């Protein structure tokens, strides 16, 4: 039998006054709890001890479903008779995050809530998203394991989602103000991209609509997220779209959203080739925004391809890197030229040529492994794969297309940038664009470390609130990492040993403190910090980071 943590839950009998308290464990999402045994009616337990429920919850942490049932039941019932003080330990690593939230009064920007615990729940959900991400139900079930003293119902956690949804603009402004206060004024140079987030549902409702999935989840419902960060990699803004929205269709509404929410008039948008459409560029030009967008050379005109492959006019920067450029007037589909001038910068890098060659070979080898003795594969084995180097021959069967491979080889090492910034040199443009990896890293953190997906919510308002809480968590995480590493670098500490996101989270997850819980007045007394034998200096590092973030 798989080990399961125990939980205490209600089962209502004929009397609607007080429920029966059962001990059991969760059976998975949407399946309810497994009943193991009953402790009796809550009214009778409270006659023995007014704080019986809290005492039992604390004691349950010591056992699992693998322990002897009769022994567990006896210990639980004895605990409410014999002890007023419960000793244990709680997670305290999240306090660093919550103190930073408090320092900048992020929650205070919201309209005054009638529920006294909303602020505590907000802080807890952000800190838990960073240190131990999970669903709302998971957060509620684990709240007593943390140093936060949140005594509230599960419904309060969902009401917090309602409050976050209603207060999106205030929260976004407060979080951006926090970044400015911690790291200095942000310029208006933004790196933009979009990606998908999937659900464990197939209902096709509201925002949740199937579309092309970047998570290879082609049947599940999904949403599309537009995200922008600054040149330091700190997220700036987020916007949610329906799941069938194409990448290139996200940029214009995203920029309009930024305009309206932050009153920004001048900005530079840096984006990858997925945003390289005539409509997007025409929009950016019409708003007088600067842009640097990679250009899809392989789908360009034959004239442009010939120009790119022509070895003349290239400027050799080094033995491994060269470039050439051309300027031209923008034109619309009817070939009518405008007064807007654009510049295309073509670069060739030996390092990139090796990378392109390797990526193509991996795709070819993947195809070869799946093909049968006749050299083709069935369409079902290609599900989710882009038909880049193979072609359909008959009856949903595919084979390698050598002509596509040969054409692709010509462009190994080439990369093209399109921009309307004319007063910067080529290497500055290339350097700016190369920071595009920051937005890709943000999506990796959002999906991996912070587990934004899968999403277990159904109401659009709750989905948007969940996404915003994940975004705020991402901003706080990136801000913490950037500020600590800047301090380390500026002061030449630890031989420039930089802190990573995983390193920070792993450290915070290990931090526990001994506590005494008084069952009579429901108060926690904090005692000694728990040592971590495998990392004896962990508390020194924590105090060092705390001082940088909170006291300076």
* pLDDT at res. 436: 94
Give tens-digit pLDDT for 50-96: 888 988 998 898 899 998 898 899 889 888 875 567 778 899 999 99
More confident residue, 114 or 76: 76
Inform me whether the pLDDT recorded for 398 exceeds 60: yes
Question: What pairs with residue 326 in β-bridges?
Answer: 344
In a domain, 509, yes or no: no
Backbone angles phi, psi at 187, to 5 degrees: -85, 180
In a domain, 26, yes or no: yes
* pLDDT at res. 203: 54
For the residues 332-359, what does the mean pLDDT come to? 89
CA separation for the pair 58, 76 (Å, rounded): 10
CA separation for the pair 195, 8 (Å, rounded): 39
Give tens-digit pLDDT for 501-510: 999 999 999 9
Boundary residue ending a domain (49, 65, 83): 83
* pLDDT at res. 377: 75
Q: What is the mean pLDDT of the chain?
A: 88
In a domain, 314, yes or no: yes
CA separation for the pair 7, 27 (Å, rounded): 11
Least confident span in 191-195, 304-308, 383-387: 383-387
In a domain, 365, yes or no: yes
Least confident span in 99-113, 172-186, 250-264, 431-445: 99-113
Q: Using the 8-state DSSP alphabet, how is residue 446 labeled? A: I
In a domain, 504, yes or no: no
* pLDDT at res. 12: 85
Evaluate whether 6 touches 23 at the Cβ level (below 8 Å).
yes
Angle, helix 118-131 to helix 154-166, in steps of 10 degrees: 90
More confident residue, 524 or 158: 158
Domain count, the chain: 2
CA 246 from centroid of its chain's CA atoms = 20
Inform me whether the pLDDT recorded for 8 exceeds 90: yes
For the residues 339-345, what does the mean pLDDT come to? 92
- Domain of residue 17 covers 7-83
* pLDDT at res. 384: 53
Boundary residue ending a domain (35, 59, 83): 83
In a domain, 96, yes or no: no
For the residues 247-259, what does the mean pLDDT come to? 95
CA separation for the pair 221, 205 (Å, rounded): 8
The token pair that represents 502 in the structure block: 């995983």
What does each C-alpha distance from 175 to 30, 249, 453 come to in angstroms? 34, 26, 22
From the CB of residue 89, how many other CB atoms can be counted at a distance below 10 Å? Answer: 16
Inform me whether the pLDDT recorded for 235 exceeds 80: yes
CA separation for the pair 399, 307 (Å, rounded): 32
Boundary residue ending a domain (418, 445, 465): 418
* pLDDT at res. 27: 86
pLDDT-derived band at 497 (thresholds 50, 70, 90) equals: confident
For the residues 364-378, what does the mean pLDDT come to? 78
In a domain, 469, yes or no: no
In a domain, 191, yes or no: no
CA separation for the pair 176, 60 (Å, rounded): 41
């Amino acid at each position: 039998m798989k080990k399961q943590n125990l939980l205490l839950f209600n089962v209502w009998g004929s009397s609607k006054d007080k429920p029966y308290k059962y001990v059991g464990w969760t059976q998975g999402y949407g399946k309810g709890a497994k009943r193991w045994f009953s402790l009796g009616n809550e009214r009778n337990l409270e006659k023995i001890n007014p704080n019986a429920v809290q005492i039992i919850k604390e004691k349950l942490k010591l056992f699992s479903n693998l322990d002897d049932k009769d022994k567990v039941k006896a210990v639980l019932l004895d605990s409410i008779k014999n002890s007023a003080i419960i000793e244990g330990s709680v997670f305290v690593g999240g306090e660093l995050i919550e103190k930073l939230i408090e320092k900048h009064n992020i929650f205070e920007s919201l309209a005054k809530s009638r529920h006294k615990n909303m602020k505590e729940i907000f802080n807890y959900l952000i800190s838990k998203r960073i240190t131990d991400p999970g669903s709302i139900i998971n957060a509620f079930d684990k709240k007593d394991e943390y140093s936060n003293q949140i005594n509230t119902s599960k419904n309060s956690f969902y009401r917090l989602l309602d409050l976050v949804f209603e207060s999106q603009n205030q929260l976004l402004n407060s979080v951006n103000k926090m970044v400015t206060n911690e790291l200095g004024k942000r310029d208006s140079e933004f790196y933009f991209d979009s990606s998908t987030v999937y659900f464990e549902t197939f209902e096709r409702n509201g925002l949740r609509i199937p579309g092309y999935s970047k998570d290879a989840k082609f049947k599940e419902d999904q949403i599309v997220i537009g995200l922008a960060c600054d040149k330091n990699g700190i997220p700036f803004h987020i916007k949610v779209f329906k799941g069938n929205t194409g990448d290139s269709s996200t940029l214009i509404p995203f920029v309009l959203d930024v305009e309206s929410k932050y009153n920004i008039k001048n900005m530079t948008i840096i984006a990858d080739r997925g945003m390289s459409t005539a409509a997007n560029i025409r929009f950016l030009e019409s708003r007088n925004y600067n842009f640097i967008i990679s250009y899809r050379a392989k789908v360009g005109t034959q004239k442009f391809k010939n120009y790119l492959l022509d070895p003349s006019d290239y400027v050799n920067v080094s033995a491994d890197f060269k470039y050439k450029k051309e300027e031209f007037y923008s034109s619309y589909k009817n070939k009518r030229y405008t007064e807007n001038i654009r510049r295309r910068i073509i670069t060739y890098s030996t390092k990139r040529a090796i990378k392109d060659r390797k990526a193509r070979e991996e795709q070819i080898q993947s195809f070869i492994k799946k093909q049968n003795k006749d050299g083709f594969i069935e369409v079902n084995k290609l599900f989710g794969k882009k038909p880049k180097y193979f072609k359909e021959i008959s009856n949903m069967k595919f084979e390698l297309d050598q002509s596509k491979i040969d054409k692709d080889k010509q462009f190994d090492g080439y990369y093209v940038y399109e921009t309307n910034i004319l007063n910067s040199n080529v290497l500055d443009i290339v350097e700016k664009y190369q920071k595009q990896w920051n937005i890709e890293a943000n999506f990796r953190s959002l999906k991996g470390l912070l587990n934004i997906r899968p999403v277990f919510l159904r109401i659009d308002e709750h989905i948007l609130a969940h996404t915003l809480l994940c975004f705020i968590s991402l901003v706080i995480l990136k801000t913490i990492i950037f500020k600590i590493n800047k301090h380390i670098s500026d002061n030449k500490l630890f031989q420039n040993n930089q802190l990573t996101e995983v390193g920070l989270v792993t450290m915070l997850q290990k931090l526990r403190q001994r506590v005494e819980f008084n069952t009579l007045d429901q108060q926690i007394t904090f005692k000694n910090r728990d040592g971590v034998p495998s990392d004896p200096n962990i508390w020194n590092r924590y105090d060092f980071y705390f001082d940088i973030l909170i006291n300076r």
